[in-house]
Amino acid sequence: MMADLAGRVALITGGGRGIGRAIAERFAAAGAAVVVNYLRDEAAAEATAKACRAAGGDALPWRADVTDAEAVAAMARGVDAEFGRLDVLVLNAFAPYLFDAERRTPFRGLHWDDYQRQIDGSVRAAFIGCQAFVPIMERRPGGSVVTIASNLVARPAVPYHDYITAKAGLIGFTRSLAAELGPQGLRANCIAPGLVWPTDASRNTREDLRDSIIGATPLRRLAMPGDIAGPALFFASDLSAFVTGQTLFVDGGLVMAASPV
């Protein structure tokens, strides 16, 4: 049995670049119509949509700030009018963040606003997205919500305090959502990648730190955007029809290698 999204509609927030683009293209190749949400980079979103069409699926770029409830509600109305359904919601967008161990702000230098910015970008955005789109998804069983967290919640090798706190909250949000939506036949699962290279967020990660992560990773490399797209497709498709409330660490075994159990 292969992952098949033919006839289904998927929306990926932050879908224009990096992990979001890789997921969009993989979904399109599996037959889905893909809504590519973006905030600023229209050219990148259009390029992703073009690549999705070339891969075999329909695609539509859609600009909306995922932390703006009115903008997301308008996007939901537009998607409903265009397609009449939504089967997969991938909550990939997050507040801008640079993984730079040397220039990170230590705990004593942080302010609550730093935490709030990340919480808004992850948890609040997920809340707003689900509030807008879950009512559309509830019309038919089998839908799937996929969130994107981080393996740092289990192994904070570099203590990016505000970012890790927000992603840990997103995992809790996802599990609670899974419990709530299960009786309606909808699922919610989370992917927790390791450092993904190259992306905008990881571009300032020093080479020696990347090499250190590679050396500690059983599969001896960093994740690439396409490595996250495969698990997302699994969670979106019927291959995971009896899987919900789970967090899948996609980091080449790094968290496992650090576990004392």
Q: Can you tell me the distance from the alpha carbon of 243 to that of 239, in angstroms, rounded to the nearest whole number?
A: 9
Catalytic residue, chosen from 38, 97, 160, 163, is 163
Q: Can you tell me the distance from the alpha carbon of 124 to that of 13, in angstroms, rounded to the nearest whole number?
A: 13
Which tokens sit at 60? 């539509």
Phi, psi of 57 (to 5 degrees): -115, 160
Burial of 37 (0-12, 13-18, 19+ CB in 10 A): buried
Q: C-alpha angle 67/224/172, rounded to 5°?
A: 40
Q: Is 97 a catalytic residue?
A: no
Which tokens sit at 144? 């799937």
Contact present, 81 and 56 (Cβ < 8 Å): no
Which residues are known catalytic residues? 163
